[in-house]
Each structure stands twice: as C-alpha cells, then as structure tokens.
Amino acid sequence: MDLNDTPEQAAYRSEVRAWLDQNASHAPHERGTGDDAEAVAAHRAWQRRLAEARYVGVTWPAEHGGGGRGPLEQVIVNQEISRKGVPGILDVIGVGMLGPTIIAHGNDAQKQRYLGPMLHGDEVWCQLFSEPAAGSDLAGVQCRAKRDDDGGWRITGQKVWTTNAQFSAFGLILARTDADVAKHKGLTMFIVPMDAAGVTIVPLRQISGEPEFNEVFFDDVRLEPGSEVGAVNGGWGVALTTLMFERLTIGAGSEGLGYRADRFAAALASDEAASADSEVRREFGELASELLALRFNGYRLLTALSRGQIPGPEAGLGKVTAVNAAIAAGDLIADVLGPDALAEGEWADLISFLPGLKSAGGTEEILRNTIGERVLGLPPEPRLDKGVPFSELRAKERQEVKA
C-alpha cells in the first residue's frame, strides 16, 4: 500500500500487483521496438494481455473497452508496472493522446471502429502534426487537404518527427483545409490509414541507432468521406486536446516512463565513493525534489481530469520538469559511473533518448511562452518581422490572441 492510498485504492493496487505477479513472465524485454518486427509483435501481445485485464485505458469509459476508473487508478497501474520492472504499453501515443481525442471529438462510428483495436494493440496509431517549417508553431502547418466531389479528401504534404509511423495502422493528421483565413482557423483533423496509396514513410535514426522518429510524405492521398475528426476548419481545437493530453502523459506519467528518484538513487548508490560525495548528494537532492514536486503537480492535474476537465496549458510545466529532471539525472549518473554508463544498457538508452523528448509536445521555450500568456496573463512576445514597426507587431499579436 502506498502511503497516499485510500482503502479502495490500496485494494486496487493489491489487485494490480497480484495480476502482474502472475503475468509478468509474458512481458517482453524493454528494448528493441523501433524496426524489430518480432519485438513489436511481442509488445503488441503484452498490451493485448494488459487490455484484457482492463489495465490499458484505465480512465477510458467502460463502453469503449477501458477500465472506467479515475486518473489515480491509472497512476497506480503505471507505478506497479514500473515497480515490477516490466514494460508498459506499446501504443502510448494512441491510448494516451489520440484515443482521448477521438472520445472527445469523434463521432459514434469512429469510436466504435477505432477505439477497441487501439486499446488492444491490434492497430497502433501515430500523431501527424509537426512539419519541417511547423513544429512548435503548430498552427503554421502547410500540409493541404482538398475536398473531392463525393465528400472525400486528398492530402498532400509532409510531416516529420512522427513516432511509430513505421508500424502504425492509422494516424491522426492535422491539415490545412482553408488557406484564406487566419492560420488557426483553417485547419481540420483527419484519420488517415498509414498503408494508403501515396503514403511514404522514411525512418530517422537517433543517436541510439533506433528509428525513433520518421518523416512521412503524402502524395495526393485519398481519404474517404467521414474521415474528419471534429468539424471542418475546427481542427485547432481538436489539436489542442491532443496536445494537452500529450503533455499530461509525459508529465504526470513520468513515473511510468521510469523517471523516478529511487531508480536514479539505486544507480548512484552502486558507486560507494560517489554516493558519499557531498556534491553528488546535493545534485541528486535537487533533482529528487523536482521529481517529487512533479509527482504532486501530476496529482493536481489528474484531480482536475477526474472532474471532467481537459488538461490546460499548465500541463506543459509537468512535461518541462519531467524531461529536464531526467536529463539532469542521466548526466549525473554518467558523471558518477563514467564511460560504463554510456555503454549499451538502460542508461545509454535514457541518455540518448531524452534530448529528442525535449521537443516532443512543444519545445520548452514555446511551452513557457504559452503558460506565461494563457495562465499568467502576460503579453505575447512579438514576432521579429523585418521592416514592421514594433507597435504594429504588438497590435497584430493581440488581434491573433483574441481571434
């Protein structure tokens, strides 16, 4: 029992722990999912086993195959999976971000068709948002969707930094459907089959050697009528839902991702001289405090979610803190353990993976600006357009915020 558990939560934790004790032998190894078909299949099977026990999509409504429980029960599942040392689900993006978006904005037919296979790992999903010239400035996407006479659509353009595209069945894509209105207002969200004619996926290998991200090209890709999620030209609001759940997943789910103070402490304690060093202890104390603050901030966000609220811009603070604290922990472990920490293994994976995560869900600079403007009410920063007076830039920014 966790010290913060209610009696009901303690009983649920015991149930989850007992199930994991009985089923952990079926779990795959943590590593090797990028372009390893056998590993992907093993992770799919593990997600399916978890889903059948209702430990995937714990907060999803039961009618969609979820657990029908609260966010704190999801935290318990994440904690117990991490404590057992087995991997979580394969499709974190689908279940954590895209599924909730379809639940919030999709129609009944879309919910019926896509949510069950997503939960069980039968159909993995990817998030098709960023472009070479539109990453953190997501409203600047230029990938175009043109309507056919029968109500279908044609997608043309490019996406980049797309996780899991190489083995995804579907993607949720943000495309421009009206170029003649303000950039936030001319966007629509679509479901796109990743095996459709005209879709080309090009892996981007990270420093770890894994194809963590991909470029995806769309050459006149045909989408059937009814592929839209939400209203036509209402995609910005749909995308914000996805982004808020993305930041909540990274921030509040940091323990499930393995960013825990006890895990880092165990690595540091393996070197007696270093663990007794006052400077090492001071640095670890600082990052452990950050991780503890992150845990309780995550509880605050989850409480809001349990009351039916969609995560707001403040969820970005959890993402910033989780990534920066984990990077600091990796750096400290590398300093203490030396080159051995960079050899093949868990710390090498973490250290090489985390820099890319800094950009996922928006860069730190963009997130801090968003929180400053939308939470603290600070004035927006003007864009530095050449030849335009500062006063005009400020007025233009204010008009866009009001819009």
pLDDT in tens, 281-306: 898 888 888 888 877 777 777 777 66
For position 6, what pLDDT does the model report? Answer: 86
For position 293, what pLDDT does the model report? Answer: 82
pLDDT in tens, 78-135: 889 988 989 999 999 999 999 999 999 999 999 999 999 999 999 999 999 999 877 6
For position 60, what pLDDT does the model report? Answer: 92
Which residues, listed in sequence order, are joined to residue 154 by a DSSP beta bridge? Answer: 146, 222
For position 197, what pLDDT does the model report? Answer: 98
pLDDT in tens, 213-228: 899 999 999 999 999 9
Are the C-beta atoms of residues 137 and 146 closer than 8 Å to each other? Answer: no
More confident residue, 282 or 375: 282
Q: Which has the minimum average pLDDT: 112-121, 173-182, 256-265, 336-345?
A: 256-265
182 pLDDT band, cuts 50/70/90, is confident
Helix (H) or strand (E) holding 155: strand 153-159
Phi, psi (rounded to 5 degrees) for 64? -100, 10
Tokens of 196: 């459709």
Angle (CA) 159 164 170, round 5°: 75
Mean pLDDT, residues 215-244: 94
Whether the per-residue pLDDT at 396 is higher than 70: the answer is no
Which residues, listed in sequence order, are joined to residue 188 by a DSSP beta bridge? Answer: 175
Mean pLDDT, residues 309-325: 75
Burial of 234 (C-beta count, 10 Å sphere; 0-12/13-18/19+): middle
Tokens of 305: 């979610």
Domain 125-234: top CATH class? mainly beta
For position 136, what pLDDT does the model report? Answer: 64
Whether the per-residue pLDDT at 253 is higher than 90: the answer is no
**Strand-pair category, 228-229 with 187-193:** antiparallel
Helix (H) or strand (E) holding 216: strand 213-223
d(C-alpha 25, C-alpha 288), whole Å: 31
pLDDT in tens, 325-359: 888 888 898 888 888 788 767 788 788 878 777 77
d(C-alpha 344, C-alpha 342), whole Å: 7
Question: Domain coordinates of the chain in residue numbers?
Answer: 7-90, 125-234, 253-362
Give the DSSP per-residue string, 26-91. Answer: GPPPSS--SS-HHHHHHHHHHHHHHHHTT-SSTTS-GGGTS----HHHHHHHHHHHHHHT----S-
pLDDT in tens, 16-32: 999 999 999 999 976 55
Whether the per-residue pLDDT at 204 is higher than 70: the answer is yes
Phi, psi (rounded to 5 degrees) for 262? -65, -35
Phi, psi (rounded to 5 degrees) for 174? -100, 120
What is the distance in angstroms between the CA of the first residue and the CA of the last residue of the chain? 49
Mean pLDDT, residues 145-162: 96
For position 389, what pLDDT does the model report? Answer: 58
More confident residue, 46 or 36: 46
User: Could you list the active site residues?
Assistant: 246
d(C-alpha 218, C-alpha 144), whole Å: 9
Are the C-beta atoms of residues 318 and 298 closer than 8 Å to each other? Answer: yes
14 pLDDT band, cuts 50/70/90, is very high
Which residues, listed in sequence order, are joined to residue 222 by a DSSP beta bridge? Answer: 154
d(C-alpha 250, C-alpha 256), whole Å: 9
**Strand-pair category, 199-204 with 213-223:** antiparallel
User: Helices 346-357 and 315-337 meet at what angle, rounded to 10?
Assistant: 140
- Tell me how far the alpha carbon of residue 245 is from its chain's centroid: 7
For position 307, what pLDDT does the model report? Answer: 73
Whose tokens are 């472009």? That residue is 131
